[in-house]
């Protein structure tokens, strides 16, 4: 991309603090890369003095890849380009002694968090435990901690917990249980570095000294503790060149439910007395799409002033209205079939919707027409798969030989080692120093069978995890699959499932090797552990494979954030769906502003056509039919609705299950 005058001014700006309001599709990543290259070329900073914080591994990898293409591998390899949580994890691993830990702590998943909570407080069942952990996570993101007992009790009472005192005591035991097990959860990756930077002047000075140029991407998605961490990492009063740059767009802030706040943009501006700049031109979407989206988003009266525009010619978004969700699904499937007939190769069409329950009828209609599609899933789904969980447990044990929770995670794959016997194994380890490698020093002839079995796995793990580089990683994963913990699954009768397991491991390996190439590193263990902090690994293009067939993607609007597609369909721009209003409280101005931003994000994903559908009635499993009118956002965007005839023989009171079965009975296997 040729830099615009706006981009050039931002790249060459040497202000101590700069706030860039970057509209959708305005080339903010290109601008960030050009700015990094400019300051290195000017001698303002060295690559190792640069910290860029992103919100996903994919964004961090893309920035490094594009730096390699635009500049030299030196900048991409030595600049610190990480997610917030990835950076926090590196701080914890580098300074674990200062955090009074005996070894770098392991990151545990939600299932393991629940186990810690319930193990330490038997009066908390799984249902209450899940709710309590969710509430505690949100509280930590709002900077509450265990020292705030009264505010926490008040908060738990407001959230409707029946016994706030019991719940708070359970959370105290939960945090102590994590400390004793030397494990951390996702929120700790931000909270613990903040605690360290606040209390340890030496560490704070050391980290601040390195951060001469600090960039924060998608700043509108930061929550309070991420903003706090960013402020602690930058010291504008140190000698030499210092600049912190926040890049974001309050029009695309869609994560209020997890603590993100557009107010952080104003706080940043005031705290650092930041100069403001804008990137207004959209290089992705056709002008009529940008005009409609901009007209709609102006109804958010508290937004920062800016006027997105595009010079790309194109069509005005089309809006169709149908009687019910089934007619909408069939109309969309028909539209997709027509699109595929004229876009057979190398294109991507996305069907976006507000909530996951919208996908059921869409999938059924696409299946009925034999249309292949990809359903975008979240990161947890990939890292919760059996083979990936076992692989990550082995990696955790390599990094932290005292991680008993990781050892427990391997128990289902160790033949002859039940839960009770695993308790005995762990008891043996605890009595002999608390590290799994202690088993290697004990006389095998005196050990129970279960301990001998685990001892063999530990011995092989230490050998297979020692080799660096791609060959080392492949040897490690091959051992896990062939003769290590997952060898027990080799006897499965489902050969297709075996193939899928191997494909998932191969995908993760390729992703880690790709990252090692970019960072010029042969240490695969850190990259593997950090992978769980981001999102599902990406499949990287392989040259010489010929034309790639066009594909259809189904995903929620939240999952589409940051993506772009050749054509986009929005399913269900209807009142009570988008905007989603389930109670009087959700009719507030603040909630509607967030829903309007969601619609703005959905509309600005397309590089070509945009088609929007409204239905008069929505039927979802387990609920009564939901009558609806066209979304207010359509009128605000200046778009008119064309009413379609019924597309399939269904009635508004037909159940979703009946409709789906009617389609499935005619489906061909995909």
Please state the φ and ψ torsions of residue 171, each to the nearest 5 degrees.
-70, -35
Q: Distance between alpha carbon 580 and the CA centroid of its chain, in Å?
A: 22
The kind and range of the H/E element at 184 are strand 183-184
Structural contact between residues 281 and 312, judged by C-beta atoms closer than 8 angstroms: no
| Residue 239: DSSP 8-state | S
**What are the beta bridge partners of residue 322?**
615
Q: Does the annotation place 26 within a ligand binding site?
A: yes
Report d(CA 169, CA 188) in Å as an integer: 19
Q: Does the annotation place 29 within a ligand binding site?
A: yes
Structural contact between residues 571 and 250, judged by C-beta atoms closer than 8 angstroms: no
**What are the beta bridge partners of residue 19?**
246, 276
Q: Does the annotation place 27 within a ligand binding site?
A: yes
Structural contact between residues 113 and 136, judged by C-beta atoms closer than 8 angstroms: no
Please state the φ and ψ torsions of residue 568, each to the nearest 5 degrees.
-135, 140
Q: Does the annotation place 25 within a ligand binding site?
A: yes
Q: How many CA atoms lie within 13 A of 624 on its CB side?
A: 2
Structural contact between residues 391 and 501, judged by C-beta atoms closer than 8 angstroms: no
Q: Does the annotation place 571 within a ligand binding site?
A: no
- Nearest-10 Cα torsion for 556, 559, 561, 567: -60
Report d(CA 189, CA 167) in Å as an integer: 23
- Write out the E strands in 325-447: 348-353, 374-375
Structural contact between residues 29 and 23, judged by C-beta atoms closer than 8 angstroms: no
Strands 106-107 vs 275-279: parallel, antiparallel or unpaired: unpaired
Cα–Cα nearest to 614, from 587, 655, 575: 575
Structural contact between residues 394 and 475, judged by C-beta atoms closer than 8 angstroms: no
- Nearest-10 Cα torsion for 333, 338, 339, 345: 110
Binding residues: 22-29
Binding residues for ATP: 22-29
């Amino acid at each position: 991309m040729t830099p615009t005058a706006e981009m050039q001014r931002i790249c060459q700006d040497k202000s101590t603090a700069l706030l860039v309001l970057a509209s959708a599709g305005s080339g903010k990543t290109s601008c960030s890369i050009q700015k990094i290259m400019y300051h290195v070329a000017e001698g303002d900073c060295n690559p190792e003095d640069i910290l860029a914080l992103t919100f996903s591994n994919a964004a961090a990898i893309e920035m490094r890849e594009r730096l390699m293409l635009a500049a030299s591998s030196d900048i991409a390899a030595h600049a610190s380009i990480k997610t917030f949580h990835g950076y926090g994890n590196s701080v914890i691993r580098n300074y674990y002694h200062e955090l009074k830990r005996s070894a770098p702590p392991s990151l545990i998943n939600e299932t393991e968090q629940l186990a810690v909570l319930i193990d330490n407080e038997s009066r908390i069942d799984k249902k209450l435990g899940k709710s309590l952990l969710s509430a505690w996570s949100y509280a930590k993101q709002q900077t509450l901690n265990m020292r705030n007992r009264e505010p926490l009790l008040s908060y738990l009472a407001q959230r409707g917990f029946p016994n706030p005192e019991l719940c708070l005591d359970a959370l105290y035991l939960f945090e102590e249980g994590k400390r004793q097990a030397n494990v951390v959860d996702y929120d700790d990756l931000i909270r613990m570095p903040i605690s360290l930077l606040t209390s340890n002047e030496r560490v704070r000075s050391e980290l601040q000294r390195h951060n001469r140029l600090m960039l924060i991407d998608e700043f509108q998605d930061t929550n309070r503790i991420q903003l706090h961490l960013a402020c602690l990492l930058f010291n504008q009063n140190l000698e030499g060149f210092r600049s912190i740059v926040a890049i974001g767009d309050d029009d695309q802030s869609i994560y209020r439910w997890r603590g993100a706040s557009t107010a952080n943009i104003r706080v940043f501006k005031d705290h650092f007395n930041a100069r403001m700049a804008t990137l207004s031109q959209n290089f992705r979407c056709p002008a009529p799409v940008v005009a409609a989206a901009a007209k709609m988003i102006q109804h958010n009266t508290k937004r920062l002033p800016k006027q997105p525009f595009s010079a790309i010619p194109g069509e005005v978004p089309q809006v169709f209205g149908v009687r019910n969700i089934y007619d909408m699904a069939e109309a969309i499937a028909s539209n997709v079939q027509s699109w595929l007939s004229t876009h057979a190769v190398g294109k991507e069409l996305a069907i976006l919707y507000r909530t996951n329950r919208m996908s059921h009828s869409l999938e059924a209609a696409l299946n009925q027409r034999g249309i292949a599609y990809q359903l975008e899933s979240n990161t947890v789904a990939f890292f919760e798969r059996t083979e990936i969980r076992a692989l990550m447990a082995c990696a955790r044990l390599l990094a932290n030989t005292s991680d008993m929770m990781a050892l427990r995670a391997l128990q289902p794959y160790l033949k002859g080692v039940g839960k009770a016997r695993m308790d005995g194994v762990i008891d043996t380890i605890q009595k002999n120093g608390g590290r799994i490698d202690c088993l290697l020093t004990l006389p095998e002839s005196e050990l129970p069978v279960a301990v001998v079995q685990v001892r063999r796995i530990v011995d092989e793990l230490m050998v297979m995890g020692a080799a660096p580089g791609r060959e080392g990683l492949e040897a490690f994963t091959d051992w896990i699959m062939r003769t290590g913990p997952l060898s027990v699954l080799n006897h499965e009768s489902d050969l297709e499932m075996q193939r899928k397991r191997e494909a998932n491991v191969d995908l993760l390996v390729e992703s880690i090797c790709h990252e090692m190439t970019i960072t010029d590193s042969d240490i695969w263990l850190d990259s593997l552990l950090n992978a769980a902090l981001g999102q599902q690994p990406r499949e990287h293009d392989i040259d010489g494979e010929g034309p790639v067939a066009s594909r259809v993607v189904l995903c929620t609007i939240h999952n589409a954030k940051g993506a772009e597609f050749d054509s986009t369909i929005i399913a269900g721009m209807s009142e009570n769906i988008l905007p989603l209003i389930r109670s009087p409280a959700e009719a507030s101005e603040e909630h509607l502003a967030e829903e309007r931003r969601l619609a703005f994000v959905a509309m600005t994903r397309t590089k070509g056509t945009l088609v929007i559908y409204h239905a008069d009635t929505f039927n979802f499993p387990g609920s009564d039919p939901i009558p609806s009118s066209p979304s207010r956002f359509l009128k605000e965007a200046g778009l008119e609705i064309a009413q379609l005839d019924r597309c399939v023989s269904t009635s508004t009171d037909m159940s979703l299950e009946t409709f789906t079965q009617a389609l499935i009975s005619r489906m061909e296997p995909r």
